[in-house]
Homo-oligomer: A and B are copies of this chain.
Amino acid sequence: MPSLIRKISDYRMERLQVHRVSVADQVAGILRQRILAGELRPGTALPEVSVSAALGVSRNTLREAVRILALEGLLKRDIHRGVSVSHLSIADVEEIYRLRRMLEIPAVYAARKPSVEILRQMRSLVDEYEAVVHARNWVRAVGVDFQFHTQLIRFHRNNRLESFYQKLIGELRMGMVLVDRVHDDPGGLIPVHREICELLAAGELRKCAVLLAQHLDDSEARLRDIVSRYADLRRVRTGT
């Protein structure tokens, strides 16, 4: 595995940078990506031997990667029974959205003097979202959507909060990708996101907060719907 990395870059600088990440972290990244892309669906078991063999790393390394993802909430570990991709329950969705409200809405007010940098980022993310939706790349769209909200959180200027928030939306993302078909109206978010930017720039924080709250409600309702529908589907398939 390390030799593969070596091959990609011969330049000393790059090699150093790439190499600073341990293999375990890289493996965690790969698995995270596959989970968030919906490739590994909730409930999928990840037997250590076969997975480590498939990825070309040792069992121990895979274990470290799994430990990371388990602490992130993406994988579930049942002792002596193996790991599997976590399920997102309605309760989880509700819990996470209560947190999003608790964190994102104050973020708007924290943007009293909004950072130009963050605002610029947000605007470019809206553009990117538009492009991605146009290209009908739904998985990527979900990612960009969440990046937009992460920028919002950055107004708090708090690293711990930011990484916690990213962990949260990581879990949500796992639920979002359950639908391979377009979820209701993915393009509908564009004007909302754009208006959030403008209201922030104009200092209309109250209006912005209201709009955001409403946006979050919508988003939660949509995800609830997806999750409950998926739960039914699973129930039927399992025969419970």
Give the oligomeric copy count: 2
- Chain A interface, >50% SS class: helix
Tell whether A161 is near chain B: CB-to-CB under 8 Å.
yes
A79-104 CB contact bits vs B (8 Å, 1 = yes)? Answer: 10000000000000001101100110
A20-B79, A71-B71, A79-B20 given as contacts; is B64 within 8 A of A99 (CB)?
no
A158 touches B99 (CB 8 A): yes
B158 touches A95 (CB 8 A): yes
In the assembled complex, the Cα of A103 lies from the Cα of B164 at a distance in Å of 13
Tell whether A67 is near chain B: CB-to-CB under 8 Å.
yes
In the assembled complex, the Cα of A161 lies from the Cα of B100 at a distance in Å of 11
A160 touches B99 (CB 8 A): yes
In the assembled complex, the Cα of A106 lies from the Cα of B68 at a distance in Å of 31
Give the residue of B22, B79, B159, B164 whose beta carbon is less than 8 angstroms from that of A164: B164
Residues of the B chain whose Cβ atoms lie less than 8 Å from the Cβ of A99: 158, 160-161
Tell whether A63 is near chain B: CB-to-CB under 8 Å.
yes
Write the nearest CB–CB distance from A124 to chain B, whole angstroms: 27
Tell whether A108 is near chain B: CB-to-CB under 8 Å.
no
A139-150 CB contact bits vs B (8 Å, 1 = yes)? Answer: 000000000000
B95 touches A106 (CB 8 A): no
In the assembled complex, the Cα of A164 lies from the Cα of B64 at a distance in Å of 21
Tell whether A228 is near chain B: CB-to-CB under 8 Å.
no
Where the two chains meet, the residues of A that have a C-beta atom closer than 8 Å to any C-beta of B are: 20, 22, 60, 63-64, 67-68, 71, 79, 95-96, 98-99, 102-103, 106, 156, 158-161, 164, 168
